[in-house]
């Protein structure tokens, strides 16, 4: 099974190609979940057996004595890859020049706390951490991780990652090679808004692996100032990616069939004054996908075409609404966006990966509109039949 993913938010950290240590921050480092991860990180299970590590342990001030104990335990283990362990309660120190961020820290539900208050508190925590990534981490660190790619590779798929950022893409491939073995993943640098380059990326994928079975069109930007670019990336590239996927998978062309997932957004179901063009592109992705699913069914293409609509996911895209260079005059509505985040919550990437895998594996789904939200998890939008 071969999968091509266009502009996935894949890189959660950058792997150094040299023997220099990489800096890894773990938030909520005094908690049980983080504690269970630290030893695996320090002994090379996460970033490779040849990659030295500097661990930055970040937690709130009352937990500093606990962190000191964690530091002593790790140092007593004399792990050869562990160059240093630095406990801190200061966000700017914890995220300074990090190559990787593992965001575990969150607020547990307290007795008597309503769910909306819990969501509000944790949205604030992850927003602060996301802002710290943008401000203090190395620029090679990206937002949500490799959950979808990991799920595919764990299912014995071979994956081509297509992205504009060549540095991050190569670093992502190196880490995936270390985890899953060489030959299962390839990286193809490409601007998906360039039709010729995108066509070449599809052909390069087929040339390397011999076939194509799954296409995930996930390229997306949020730029209301350069709104033409937003249309090119968010909608036009999805249309081109779908047509190219059909060329390589449709039985109409003598191929064996396959699956296409186009990624939209819950923004398509909301009125979003802060991002009108982004919203329009996501509406367009749903309409195009449903129409193409019908075309595939009537034309007997053998290709299932579905659309996935996640709510807020903690990525750099989520924080771009505060940047006037991205939002232009609509930046004045950023507080409305923040209120929506508080209301709907922020998703974890593992749930997005679960939704993608369901769309891939369930052969009964064609033209499905999958929604993923904090309140309802994975569910499907239903449309009333049109009456005369």
Structure tokens at 228: 């033409």
Q: Where are the domains of the chain?
A: 17-98+100-136, 147-380
pLDDT above 80: residue 154: no
For 319-359, the pLDDT digits (tens) are 667 778 778 888 888 788 777 777 778 786 778 888 998 99
CA 269 to each of CA 12, 259, 309, 369, 377: distance values in angstroms, whole numbers, following the listed order: 29, 24, 9, 11, 16
Asked if 367 and 305 touch (Cβ cutoff 8 Å), the reply is yes
Q: What is the mean pLDDT of residues 141-150?
A: 52
pLDDT band per the 50, 70, 90 thresholds, residue 41: confident
CB under 8 Å to 282, separation ≥6 — which residues?
234, 264, 265, 267, 268, 309
User: What confidence score (pLDDT) does residue 10 get?
Assistant: 28
pLDDT band per the 50, 70, 90 thresholds, residue 13: very low
Q: Cα–Cα distance between 307 and 231 in angstroms, integer?
A: 17
DSSP letter, residue 13: B
Angle (deg, nearest 10), helices 237-249 and 195-209: 30
User: What confidence score (pLDDT) does residue 340 get?
Assistant: 78
147-380 maps to which CATH number? Answer: 3.40.50.720
User: What confidence score (pLDDT) does residue 260 get?
Assistant: 97
Catalytic residue check, 278: yes
Residue 167: CB atoms within 10 A of its CB come to 12
Q: How does strand 22-27 pair with strand 258-263? A: unpaired
Query: 87: number of CA atoms within 13 Å, CB side?
Result: 22
Of these residues, 35, 278, 301, 383, which one is catalytic? Answer: 278
Question: Facing residues of 58 across strands?
Answer: 27, 88
Q: Cα–Cα distance between 324 and 173 in angstroms, integer?
A: 33
Q: What is the mean pLDDT of residues 142-169?
A: 71
Structure tokens at 225: 């100032």
Q: Cα–Cα distance between 197 and 113 in angstroms, integer?
A: 52
Buried b (16+ CB within 10 A) or exposed e, 281-301: bbbbbbebbbebbeebeeeeb
More confident residue, 352 or 289: 289
Q: What are phi and psi of 32, to 5 degrees?
A: -65, -40
CA 183 to each of CA 153, 162, 208, 209: distance values in angstroms, whole numbers, following the listed order: 11, 16, 10, 9
Do the domains at 17-98+100-136 and 147-380 have one common CATH topology? yes
17-98+100-136 is a CATH 3.40.50.150 domain? no
């Amino acid at each position: 099974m071969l999968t091509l993913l266009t502009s996935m938010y894949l890189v959660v950290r950058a792997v150094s190609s040299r023997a220099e240590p990489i800096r890894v921050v773990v938030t909520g480092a005094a908690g049980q979940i983080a504690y269970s991860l630290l030893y695996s990180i320090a002994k090379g299970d996460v970033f490779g057996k040849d990659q030295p590590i500097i661990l930055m342990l970040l937690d709130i001030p009352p937990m500093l004595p606990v962190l000191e104990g964690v530091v002593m335990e790790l140092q007593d283990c004399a792990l050869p890859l562990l160059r240093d362990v630095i406990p801190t309660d200061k966000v700017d120190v914890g995220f300074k020049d990090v190559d990787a961020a593992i965001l575990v820290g969150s607020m547990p539900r307290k007795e008597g706390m309503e769910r909306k208050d819990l969501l509000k508190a944790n949205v604030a925590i992850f927003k602060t951490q996301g802002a710290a990534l943008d401000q203090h981490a190395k620029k090679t660190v990206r937002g949500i991780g490799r959950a979808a790619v990991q799920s595919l590779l764990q299912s014995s798929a071979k994956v081509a990652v297509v992205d504009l950022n060549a540095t991050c893409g190569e670093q992502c491939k190196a880490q995936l090679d270390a985890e899953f073995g060489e030959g299962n993943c390839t990286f193809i640098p490409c601007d998906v808004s360039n039709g010729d380059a995108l066509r070449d990326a599809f052909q390069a994928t087929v040339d390397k692996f011999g076939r194509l079975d799954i296409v995930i069109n996930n390229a997306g930007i949020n730029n209301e100032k350069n709104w033409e670019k937003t249309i090119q990336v968010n909608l036009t590239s999805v249309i081109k990616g779908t047509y190219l996927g059909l060329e390589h998978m449709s039985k109409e062309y003598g191929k064996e069939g396959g699956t296409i997932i186009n990624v939209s957004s819950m923004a398509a179901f909301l009125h979003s004054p802060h991002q009108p063009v982004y919203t329009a592109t996501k509406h367009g992705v749903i309409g195009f996908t449903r129409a193409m699913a019908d075309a595939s069914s009537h034309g007997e293409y053998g290709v299932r075409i579905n659309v996935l609509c996640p709510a807020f996911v903690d990525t750099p895209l989520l924080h771009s609404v505060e940047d006037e260079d991205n939002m232009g005059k609509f930046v004045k509505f950023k507080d409305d966006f923040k209120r929506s985040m508080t209301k709907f919550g922020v998703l974890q990437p593992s749930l997005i990966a679960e939704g993608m895998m369901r769309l891939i594996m369930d052969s009964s789904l064609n033209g499905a509109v999958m929604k993923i939200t904090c309140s309802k998890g994975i569910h499907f939008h239903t449309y009333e039949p049109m009456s005369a």
